[in-house]
Amino acid sequence: MAKIIAREEMAQGTIILNEIEAPRISQKAKPGQFVILQADEKGERVPLTMADTNPDKGTITIIYMVVGKSTARFKDLQVGDEYFALIGPLGKPTHIEKVGKVVCVGGGTGIAVLHPITRALKAAGNDVTTILGARTYDLLIMEEKMKAASTTLHICTDDGSYGHHGFVTNVLKDVLEKEKINLVVAIGPIPMMKFCSLITKEKNVPTFVSLNPIMVDGTGMCGCCRVSVGGTTKFACVDGPEFDGHKVDFDELAKRLASYLEDEKKSLEAYKNCKALKNRLD
């Protein structure tokens, strides 16, 4: 059992932050690693990369978007409630070193994943330019925390409601034209990571991305999280979750996730209908 000690509804209630009691995980976890959470005994095991850790308090922070039945069940959990199961830290931590000028690009809930990595890269002595993207200002998360973790911060919104009117790739292109960049980190939706990687490949700038495919056990045994990297099958849970963005087959990954998300949307609709019926009966 893992108790929720703090909870925040972000981005109009579609994105939820949980601070969870996890003393042993908080002591061991490093930037880039993830945990697997289960809401109840019959619930799905959901992998989520940690947005923060606090070893002194013995807590970890996760941030997720409500997209299906399982995350809708997560949203039902309030402060004082407990997750049925929590395991971690899983996956390989981010390799942190001083390389010079780094650009960190984050989109959507990928910003939460990017936060500890950005902070660690800056702490290692790098000059860190961060580019954050959201569809609209109301969906932007962690602006102040990312500002503190960065040397320079750029904000982009698709609709122009805040910051640069356009995509993160537009700003990334501009930065790469003006400066000599030694490393790019891109974390967010698959199309964003794909096109960031295509841009940096043209400039021959090393780039890594963090992948979050379908996952069950988190130990490499189920094979659900397989991805193609450089023509070789890798398992995101044990070989990743971070990979060379220039080698990832993003199209194959997108197809696998699309079929899964369609089932999740159907499950979410059924879950909402069941809740509505229960409320009427009560």
Question: Domain with 137 in it: what CATH number?
Answer: 3.40.50.80
Looking at the structure, do residues 101 and 197 belong to the same domain, yes or no?
yes
Mean pLDDT, range 234-239, rounded to an integer: 91
List, for residues 134-178, the tens digit of each pLDDT value.
999 999 999 999 999 999 999 999 999 999 999 999 999 999 999
pLDDT, residue 228, reads 94
Per-residue confidence at 221, pLDDT binned at 50, 70, 90? confident
Average pLDDT over residues 247-251: 94
Residue 260 pLDDT? 60
66 and 110 part of one domain: no
Domain of residue 85, CATH code: 2.40.30.10
State the pLDDT confidence band at 276, using cuts at 50, 70 and 90: low
- Are residues 101 and 195 both part of a single domain? yes
Count Cβ atoms below 10 Å from residue 208 Cβ, excluding itself. 23
Smallest CA-to-CA distance from 234 within 245, 223, 250 is with 223
Give the count of domains, the chain: 2
pLDDT over threshold 60, residue 266: no
pLDDT at residue 1 in the model: 81
Query: Which of 190, 210, 230 is the last residue before a domain boundary?
Result: 210
Do residues 109 and 186 share a domain? Answer: yes
Determine which of 187-196, 227-236, 248-257 has the lowest per-residue pLDDT on average: 248-257
Range of the domain at 27: 2-90
Query: How do residues 76-128 score in pLDDT, each as one tens digit?
Result: 999 999 999 999 999 999 999 999 999 999 999 999 999 999 999 999 999 99
Q: What is the dihedral of CA 208, 250, 60, 80, to 10 degrees?
A: 170
Place 232 in a pLDDT band, splitting at 50, 70 and 90: very high
**CB neighbours of 130 closer than 8 A, spacing ≥ 6?**
103, 104, 105, 106, 114, 118, 146, 149, 150, 152, 153, 154
Residue finishing a domain among 184, 210, 236: 210
Q: How confident is the model at residue 254 (pLDDT cuts 50, 70, 90)?
A: confident
The verdict on 144 and 193 lying in the same domain is yes
Choosing from 180, 195, 210, the residue where a domain stops is 210
